[in-house]
């Protein structure tokens, strides 16, 4: 009897398994036709590594690493998305033509190849100030570091491609087009493992270009910094990018290098290089890259070089430079002495700065907290609470009604908001912090929605009490503390 009952139960279970897929297929898609996506925030920006602008005007652009291209015509008071119809969202490079500001080139796929990474699919071009875009190729470049445009001809454009972040591929290096992206020539190719990390052009002598090459990739397993190899270095071209020569010796450090940032003055004579090597620091050349001097070995300049290592020169004064890192540093004596121009609050990881070549007071800054604009050489900045471009690592909800949405935002901590409000819209005032998690998971206690558990980047766990706004560390094991000797990254 028991055997027969067990057999019947197994047969019933098997029939249910067979029936479930069939039942699922009978659900009409019309049940979901009225569902639409809506923006609920947070109304604070996420990471940006690509910025540019129109010389002499208050028109600026930025590219978010996961949020497309944005434009402002009022120096950052209002930002408008202009890339939403394109099939890719990660922007690694963005440049506006100085000779024709209606022409913009956007390189997709960022090259700050951290663990949270989105790949691109080549280069896009706009000829109407970002109203419409055309795909112009280089699909397999995957991660694009920098784009440079000849200041006298918008059809002459250079692309520095890092390449595939996770393995070897041939589409690395420097590309040149003389027909606005219709065709491309691979002019600097150092093999399947070495890609471009930076690219600079002398705006008053555009036949002079400098590029930095970098051997780096992310492994299949989890690691904070990418893995590096040999072959990194600086290259110079004096024939408009047709041929390139390696800059070796003559004051440059020996041995393998990491990621290098490079910048050149308007006349092509002063060259700066931020080099990660055995003798890391800021190297300077006053003869167009022939001989070099270690100008500043301050470790703040090359800290976490794989994530930063960019440098910007004021086109009107080669002694004025900006170095983004955990703070935005600047120098007025060619890098011999540096000071902090901007730190927290307002950002804690700075990546890219554009200086208006016609007005050195106009700056556009890309950080982990979005993009801000200064019209007074960095004394004041526009807000980053007007760009809903946050990188949300994980999202969850509680079981209230209306329910609360929780998420962990890159470098800004967690955020939460009710799914609906009583005033007809969800505004920045309706968002609130929900603990300190940046990239971990958030779990809501199913029996008490005011209790949340949050994991951190390095294995820590916290308990957050919403009623009391109290956070407690409940990590079950010791974890490394960022920036200390126990942190071996």
Mean pLDDT of 333-357: 91
Mean pLDDT of 28-50: 89
**pLDDT of 325 over the 80 cut:** yes
DSSP annotation of 226 reads P
**Residue where the block lists tokens 């049940």:** 31
Question: Please, are residues 310 and 287 in contact by the beta-carbon 8 Å criterion?
Answer: no
Which helix (H) or strand (E) segment is 328 a member of? strand 328-331
**Residue where the block lists tokens 């604070």:** 44
Mean pLDDT of 118-132: 97
**pLDDT of 57 over the 50 cut:** yes
Mean pLDDT of 288-307: 97
Fold classification of 48-374 is Methylamine Dehydrogenase; Chain H (2.130.10)
Taken in order 454, 456, 461, 462, the sign of the CA dihedral is negative
- How far apart (Å, rounded) are the C-alpha atoms in residues 273 and 269? 13
Question: Please, are residues 189 and 217 in contact by the beta-carbon 8 Å criterion?
Answer: no
Least confident stretch, 164-168, 232-236, 439-443: 439-443
Query: Ranked by mean pLDDT, which of 194-198, 219-223, 422-426, 457-461 comes out on top?
Result: 194-198
Mean pLDDT of 284-302: 97
Mean pLDDT of 107-130: 94
pLDDT score, position 58:
97
- Tokens for 212, please give them: 């930095």
- How far apart (Å, rounded) are the C-alpha atoms in residues 2 and 10? 12
Band of pLDDT at residue 345, cut at 50, 70 and 90: low
**pLDDT of 21 over the 60 cut:** no
Q: pTM score, two decimals?
A: 0.90
CA of residue 215 relative to chain centroid, distance: 19
**pLDDT of 483 over the 90 cut:** no
The 10s digit of each residue's pLDDT in 71-94 is: 999 999 999 999 999 999 999 999
If we measure between CA atoms, which residue out of 223, 202, 220, 224 comes closest to residue 211? 202
Widest CA span in the chain: 97
- How far apart (Å, rounded) are the C-alpha atoms in residues 168 and 119? 14
Mean pLDDT of 274-294: 98
pLDDT score, position 346:
66
pLDDT score, position 164:
96
**pLDDT of 449 over the 50 cut:** yes
Band of pLDDT at residue 37, cut at 50, 70 and 90: confident
Band of pLDDT at residue 258, cut at 50, 70 and 90: very high
If we measure between CA atoms, which residue out of 357, 355, 269, 350 comes closest to residue 310? 350
pLDDT score, position 43:
87
pLDDT score, position 25:
60
- Average model confidence (pLDDT) for the chain? 91
**pLDDT of 11 over the 70 cut:** no
Q: Who has greater pLDDT, 489 or 253?
A: 253
β-bridge partners, 216: 228
Question: Please, are residues 186 and 163 in contact by the beta-carbon 8 Å criterion?
Answer: no
pLDDT score, position 14:
42
If we measure between CA atoms, which residue out of 133, 112, 114, 111 comes closest to residue 124? 133
pLDDT score, position 485:
40
- How far apart (Å, rounded) are the C-alpha atoms in residues 40 and 23? 33
Burial class (CB in 10 A: 0-12, 13-18, 19+), 129: middle
Taken in order 176, 178, 179, 184, the sign of the CA dihedral is negative
The 10s digit of each residue's pLDDT in 459-475 is: 889 999 999 989 899 99
Q: Who has greater pLDDT, 136 or 422?
A: 136
pLDDT score, position 145:
98
The 10s digit of each residue's pLDDT in 377-423 is: 999 999 999 999 988 888 999 999 999 999 999 888 899 999 999 99
């Amino acid at each position: 009897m028991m055997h027969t009952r067990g057999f019947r139960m197994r047969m019933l279970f098997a029939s249910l398994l067979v029936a479930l897929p069939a039942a699922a297929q009978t659900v009409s898609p019309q049940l979901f036709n009225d569902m639409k996506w809506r923006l609920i925030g947070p109304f604070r920006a996420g990471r940006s590594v690509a910025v540019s602008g129109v010389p002499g005007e208050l028109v600026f652009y930025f590219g978010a690493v996961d949020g497309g291209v944005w434009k402002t015509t009022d120096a950052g008071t209002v930002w408008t998305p202009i890339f939403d119809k394109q099939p890719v969202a990660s922007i690694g490079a963005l440049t506006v033509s100085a000779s024709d500001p209606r022409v913009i080139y956007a390189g997709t796929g960022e090259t700050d190849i951290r663990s949270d990474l989105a790949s691109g699919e080549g280069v896009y071009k706009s000829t109407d100030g970002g109203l419409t875009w055309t795909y112009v190729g280089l699909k397999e470049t995957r991660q694009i570091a920098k784009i440079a445009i000849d200041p006298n001809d918008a059809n002459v454009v250079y692309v520095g491609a890092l390449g595939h972040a996770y393995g070897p591929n041939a589409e690395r290096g420097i590309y040149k087009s003389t027909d606005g992206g219709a065709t491309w020539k691979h002019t600097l190719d150092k093999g399947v493992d070495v890609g471009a990390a930076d690219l600079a052009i002398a705006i008053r002598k555009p036949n002079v270009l400098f590029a930095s090459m970098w051997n780096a990739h992310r492994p299949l397993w989890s690691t904070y910094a990418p893995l590096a190899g040999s072959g990194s270095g600086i290259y110079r071209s004096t024939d408009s990018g047709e041929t390139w020569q390696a800059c070796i010796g003559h004051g440059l450090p020996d041995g393998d290098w990491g990621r290098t940032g490079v910048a050149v003055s308007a006349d092509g004579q002063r060259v700066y290089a931020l080099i990660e090597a055995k003798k890391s620091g800021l190297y300077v050349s006053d003869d167009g890259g022939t001989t070099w001097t270690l100008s500043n070995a301050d470790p703040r300049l090359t800290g976490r070089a794989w994530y930063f290592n960019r440098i910007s020169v004021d086109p009107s004064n080669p002694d004025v430079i900006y170095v983004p890192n955990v703070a935005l540093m600047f120098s007025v004596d060619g890098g011999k002495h540096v000071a902090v121009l901007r730190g927290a609050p307002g950002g804690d990881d700075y990546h890219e700065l554009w200086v208006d070549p016609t007005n050195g007071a106009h700056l556009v800054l890309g950080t982990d907290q979005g993009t801000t604009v200064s019209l007074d050489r960095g004394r004041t900045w526009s807000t980053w609470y007007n760009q809903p471009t946050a990188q949300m690592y994980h999202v969850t909800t509680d079981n209230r009604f209306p329910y609360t949405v929780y998420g962990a935002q890159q470098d800004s901590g967690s955020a939460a908001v009710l799914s609906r409000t009583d005033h007809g819209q969800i505004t920045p005032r309706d968002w609130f912090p929900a603990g300190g998690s940046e990239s971990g998971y958030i779990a809501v206690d199913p029996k008490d929605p005011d209790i949340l558990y949050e994991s951190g980047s390095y294995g820590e766990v916290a308990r957050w009490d919403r009623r009391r706004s109290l956070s407690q560390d409940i990590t079950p094991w010791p974890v490394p503390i960022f920036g200390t000797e126990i942190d071996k990254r």
